[in-house]
Structure 1
Amino acid sequence: MSASVRRVFKTKWFHKAAGKAGIADGELCRAVRELARGQGVDLGGNVWKKRLDGNRQRAIVLGRIGDTWVFVFLFAKCDRDNIDARELRAFRKLAADVGRHTDSDIATLVTLKEWVEICNG
């Protein structure tokens, strides 16, 4: 894993959605390595869009927040073209909130199973 990638998580919602779509944690870890190299769509405000599952799915990832990346939303390309402006504003606000999380806050989210850690390196 790149030096700029410390920890990667997925939310409980994303964990369920990725499972239904058949997207494994290994693919998510590879996706973050690519994002760390700028291979994704930077939507601003630490919000990224990344293609997954052979270009069939899109993930919204909160990234480069203290070297922590969080997969938060997944959608099928065939179901919708993109997120809308309201959703983007909400994801940017969420990214700002996540950016203020301490290591203790993150540990609590993992303990409560709200976040699942998928790579650490």
Structure 2
Amino acid sequence: MLLHVAITIHSLNEIEDFYKEILRFTVQRKFSLNRETSQKIFSTEEVVEVYLMEHQSVQFEIFISRQKEKKQFSHVCLAYRQAHIIYEKAISLGYRTRVKSNKENNTYFVWDKSGNMFEIKEIHSK
């Protein structure tokens, strides 16, 4: 069972602008990692603010850090009803997007301003 996916972002504004507004996640709790814990687990000495966010039983643990990460293929795939609305909202708010045309439903890709990529697919009703 997957409990959460950890993601790093560079700006606290992304919590509101991207994760709440576009992906529809809500903050479940907020906490800080002190320098000692950050060093012990992540080999960094910065104090890190962390937000636990959730939508449709998916949880993100979002770390706010100025440290850059190289992201080539890493992404999270999420499914929504009316997935195109997520894509259109991202476009309207100035986020990087791409669409992959498919026969049945398009697959949408949106990036937050820290370079985290999300593949957005349509939920298929049965």
Is TM more than 0.5 here?
no
Query: Larger RCO: Structure 1 or Structure 2 (Cα < 8 Å, ≥ 6 residues apart)?
Result: 1
Bigger Rg, structure 1 or 2: 2
Which TM-score applies when normalising by structure 2?
0.26
Report which of the two has the higher share of strand.
2
Which TM-score applies when normalising by structure 1?
0.26
